[in-house]
Each structure stands twice: as structure tokens, then as C-alpha cells.
Amino acid sequence: MEKQIKMEKQIMDFTVLIEQDEDGIYVARVPELEGCYTQGKTLESLLERIKEAIEVCIKGDKEEINPMKFIGIQRVQVKKPLLV
């Protein structure tokens, strides 16, 4: 008789930043999980892929993960010197 191990799962919410590159490809990253990012041609495929990437990242991370509270996003302009 085989013994079955029951694993409980905790629901975790992560902030995912989504941008679009110059070729129209969507890029997603999770600031709380270093190195956790992916890309996709559609938003639907991107969201599926980032969920998979998050699962891989949290399985590989041996430290306790405490997602940060999302506050907001602010776009900031700075002046860059022109090379002449």
C-alpha cells in the first residue's frame, strides 16, 4: 500500500509589471522574485507564462516569500545629456 502525501497550497498574490517592447512582444516581470520574467505575443499567453514562471521561482526559492503590497506606478521623466 502506497502512502500518499497531501500538500497544502497557499494562495499568494504577486504584482506583475507588463511592458511591450519595440517589436510588440509583451514582457512581464515580478519585482518580488529576482529573475522571474517571461514574454509572450499576446496578453493571454503572457499571463499563462508568468504564472508558470512564478511557480518555478517559488519552488526554487528556499527563503520565505512575502509579496509586497502594491501601491502604484509612476512614470518619471529625467533629462539625458545629448552626445555632440
Task: Quote the cell numbers at residue 29.
Answer: 516581470
Count structural domains, the chain: 1
Phi, psi angle pair for 39, to nearest 5°: -145, 160
User: Residue 11: its pLDDT value, please?
Assistant: 86
Nearest to 65 by CA among 14, 27, 20: 14
- 65 assigned to some structural domain: yes
Is the residue at 51 inside a domain? Answer: yes
Residue 1 lies in a domain: no
Residue-wise pLDDT tens digits, 16-58: 999 999 999 999 999 999 899 999 999 999 999 999 999 999 9
pTM (2 d.p.): 0.73
Which range marks the domain in which residue 51 is found?
A: 10-84
Residue at 47 is within a domain: yes
Specify the CATH number for the domain of residue 72.
3.30.160.250
Residue 4 inside a domain? The answer is no
Q: How many residues does the chain have?
A: 84
Show the DSSP H helices in the chain as ranges. 43-60
At 2, the pLDDT band (50, 70, 90 cuts) reads low
More confident residue, 6 or 51: 51
